Amino acid sequence: MDLKSKVAERLIRYAKIMTPSNMESRTVPSSQCQFALARVLVRELREMGVDNAFADDKCYVYAFIPPTEGKEKCPAIGFIAHMDTVSDYTRKQVTPMVWENYDGGDLALPGGRVITAKDFPHISSLAGRTLITTDGNTVLGADDKAGVAEIMTLAEYILQSDIPHGKICIGFTPDEEIGRGSDYFDVEGFGADFAFTVDGGEEGSIEYENFNGADAEFTVHGKGIHPGDAKGIMINASLVAIRINEMIPEDEIPAKTSGYEGFFHLYEIISHVEEAKLRYIVRDHDLEKYRQRLDLLRDIEKTMKETYGDNVVELVIRESYRNMKEKIMPHFHLIENAEKAVSDVGCRPVILPIRGGTDGASLSYRGLPCPNLGTGGYACHGPYEHITAEGMETVVRILLEIVKTYSADSEGVYS
């Protein structure tokens, strides 16, 4: 099988299926369009011979490949990716672009944007590869349809080969981009002893530390009246919203932090005189600092209430996930074996903290240790998103090496 062509073709095909999740929705999944990709994946898995593949009523896709003879006692290894994309830059149809033998320099996209070496210094290292982008008007959706394509290609390769293997569990989730991807994941039914999400950056990256994360929303209820008669009566919700944001430490935002540093990210404002909403994501690797960040938001709410009245400002905090590190450390063979798999395919292992979160973080706390592996993608969540066919092929080979490693454990060493 030509892994490079196969995995690239899958990504391009999946990318054209619109699947943005919707933060405003309270349904599961948050957008019905995600079922379109779920149905495609179930059909393809069944065509491969995985007759047990199905999508449930909440748009989770499950499947497993039974162990080969003599490998029934090996650990069951799972691979998980999410089907949804961010909602930003999704108002137009995704048009993937393929750049054969990319020269490693600045790349002008048809939509007018340019992927520059100044903004993305790594691009020179991609010279000679087959680069996949959009036309510059939308996200590509390689986050995380590249992970989906890589897991699907792994499954197809294993089913067409005679490689001995233990049980392999496959899961695709909705709504990861809005922090709900693991909410209804059936851990017990999934049937894996350990798993990996395939939802990271460059090929060879291995991640087992992530942000503690929460969403926070301030709602300001203003009082509108004709400006000429407003003295002592009007409460301008937009001005109150500005005051709220001014109380956020100005250096603790994504543009001014890196590594293990946490942040407050104001990602949306909806503002009028009568009502305003400020929506933040709050992130920190350190649990105590994370809690202090949430306490700061509560203190801001208290101050606003004291200033404007009890009914003017409301704060709602929804915690999304916790740092998975403490749940991975007792099973550190997952990281060691992933490092070995990366090295065995001729790639360099890169262990970095995630400046975000994955379904695996929540699943780890639900009893399924689940670190994260890179997909080969870059610049996700925006119109500069890009990935290479070669990088995706490497990821498929890394997953295959992980399968081989755990399929050699018939004595339960990793139990």
- Whether the upstream peptide bond of residue 29 has omega within 30° of 0, thus cis, is yes
* CA quadruple 122, 350, 183, 39: dihedral sign: positive
Q: Is-contact 107 73, C-beta < 8 A?
A: no
Quick one: how far is CA 234 from the chain centroid? Answer: 43
Q: How far is the C-alpha of 196 from the C-alpha of 360, rounded, in Å?
A: 7
Q: What is the DSSP string of 125-143?
A: GGTTS-EEE--SSS---HH
The catalytic residue among 150, 176, 203, 209 is 176
For this structure, is 84 an active site residue? yes
For this structure, is 144 an active site residue? no
Q: How far is the C-alpha of 7 from the C-alpha of 151, rounded, in Å?
A: 9
Q: How far is the C-alpha of 108 from the C-alpha of 226, rounded, in Å?
A: 50
Helices (H) and strands (E) in the chain, counts: 10, 18
Report DSSP state, residue 235: B
Element (H, E) at 108: strand 107-108
Quick one: how far is CA 320 from the chain centroid? Answer: 13
Tell me the catalytic residues: 84, 176
